Amino acid sequence: MSNTPKAIRGTQDIFGAEAEAFAHVVETFERVRKLYRFRRIEMPVFEKTEVFSRSIGETTDVVSKEMYSFLDRGDESLTLRPEFTAGIARAYITNGWQQHAPLKVATHGPLFRYERPQKGRYRQFHQLDAEIIGAAEPQADVELLVMADQLLKELGIADGVTLMLNTLGDGASRDAWRASLVEYFRAVQGDLSEDSQERLERNPLRILDSKDPRDQAFVAGAPKIDDFLSGEAQDFFGAVTSGLDAAGVAWTRSQSLVRGLDYYRHTAFEFVTDRLGAQGTVLGGGRYDGLMESLGGPATPAVGWAAGIERLAMLVGEVGPQDGHVVVIAENSGAEAAALRTLKQLRSVGIPANASFKGNPKRRIEVATKDGASLLLFVRDDDDPRGLYNFRSMLREGNSDDLLAMRVRAALGIE
Ligand code: ATP
Ligand code: MG
């Protein structure tokens, strides 16, 4: 074992109940995105580095210290995707997906960030992602938030998860707010964290997102976006909040909410919980009207969100028992072929079935029991005068899985 290579720090090998919870999150997302008519897309795991550096912003944590970038054998700088949106924007431009606007798309898969690994924070993690591209209307923001809300409800984790909502205003509102933030933080510069002292001139909004207590002491008193919102930006935000109210989605205003990426305009939001310690943001997103232009594309309004699958899976916890299944056991070696035929018949009509083929019959029953079988089906060879099948219910009296037994009998033509 000592010279077996170790897994890369911050990656996970997911198995058992955790893997079932992970799959349950993805399956629920797939169901909900179809319900909302989002089209499925598949995206490359890596892109040219500039796809991310030009859009996410050079001064963000993601670009300045978290990207997995490398030169490939053709000396091109490539980066393992740290998020979905930039790659989707690149694809929208390069494939001419404008013809489908407004385009509702969804995807999920692995992302890579060089972060300090801890519970709920990994270097390879996984996200669900939903975007509406080519829609400037606040109804698009509402649609995405209603969908996120339904997803959390269908996962059974909406209790204790709060939608925190903010607006960052339009370009003009944001610039005025930014100038006022620089002035405010400059006065206390020496008391800020080293990171924030550096962010001050280049990216003061980032200070609002700082988790350092030295910065947080000043965040509460910082200038608020509401004092800088243009009439248009106010109307936009008003339309989003009244849409949420009409759809029955609860929300809480958070005036200091900014997101970890630079491209957001207008709406910004996070669904947060206190059940995951410091890693409490399960889903986040917002409007990114300026992003396409930063990649050299035409001005294209868009809005989207991403959710951490691992964090959702932790909240989901144990996924309830799977449907009952039958385990097929050949009684002797002459019955192997009949057992295979039986398994195929059961599965072809949608009955969950497993084989138990390791060791003697006693051992096979043990394995099946451990596997959680609700029904054992012993198969004899074709010439056995006692008939082909022998059933044994594995459930306690009065709790037997009668429906499963009936289905099995019907599938195999047993009286
Ligand atoms: P955080 O503030 O927790 O670092 P973020 O703002 O960097 O989050 P986003 O880029 O908005 O996160 O990603 C959306 C979601 O993806 C997060 O809300 C979280 O659930 C999940 N996520 C982000 N980074 C990680 C990570 N390193 N490991 C696991 N999940 C992550
Ligand atoms: Mg982060």
282 half-sphere exposure, CB direction, 13 A CA radius: 27
Locate the ligand 1 atom nearest the alpha carbon of residue 281 and give its number: 18
Q: Choose the residue to mutate in 18, 67, 88, 125 for probing ligand 1, maximizing ligand atoms within 8 Å of C-beta.
A: 125
How far, in Å, from the CA of 60 to the mean position of ligand 2? 10
pLDDT score for 1: 61
**Among all ligands shown, which has an atom nearest to the Cα of 116?**
1
pLDDT score for 279: 87
Within 6 A (CB) of ligand 1 lie: 83, 113, 115, 120-122, 125, 127, 259-260, 279, 281-284, 306-308, 310-311
Secondary structure in 3-state letters for 297-325: CCCCCEEEEEEEHHHHHHHHCCCCCCCCC
- Go through 280-291 and write b for each residue having 16 or more CB atoms within 10 A of its CB, e for each that does not: bbbbbbbbbbbb
Q: Torsion angle of alpha carbons 208, 136, 45, 20, nearest 10°?
A: 80
How far, in Å, from the CA of 323 to the mean position of ligand 1? 33
pLDDT score for 58: 82
Residue located nearest, by CA, to atom 21 of ligand 1: 308
How far, in Å, from the CA of 11 to the mean position of ligand 2? 16
pLDDT score for 81: 98
pLDDT score for 277: 87
Q: Kindly report, residue by residue over 121-157, the tens digit of the pLDDT.
A: 999 999 999 999 999 999 999 999 999 999 999 999 9
**Among all ligands shown, which has an atom nearest to the Cα of 210?**
1
Q: What percent of the chain has pLDDT over 90?
A: 75
Domain covering 326-412: architecture: 3-Layer(aba) Sandwich (3.40)
How far, in Å, from the CA of 62 to the mean position of ligand 2? 7
How far, in Å, from the CA of 14 to the mean position of ligand 2? 22
Locate the ligand 1 atom nearest the alpha carbon of residue 285 and give its number: 11
CA 232 – CA 225 distance, rounded (Å): 14
Q: Which of 278, 315, 322 minimizes the C-alpha distance to 152?
A: 315
Residue located nearest, by CA, to atom 8 of ligand 1: 281
Element (H, E) at 355: strand 353-355
Encoded tokens for 196: 């924030």
Whether the bond between 352 and the residue before it is cis, its omega within 30 degrees of 0, is: no
pLDDT score for 241: 98
pLDDT score for 308: 98
Fold for 16-170+230-316, please state it.
BirA Bifunctional Protein; domain 2 (3.30.930)
How far, in Å, from the CA of 180 to the mean position of ligand 2? 25
Which of the residues in the chain have pLDDT under 50? none
Q: Which amino acid is at 115?
A: E
Ordered by start, the domain boundaries in the chain are 16-170+230-316, 326-412
Encoded tokens for 263: 């491209």
With vertex at residue 209, the alpha carbon angle to CA 294 and CA 77, rounded to the nearest 5 degrees, is 40
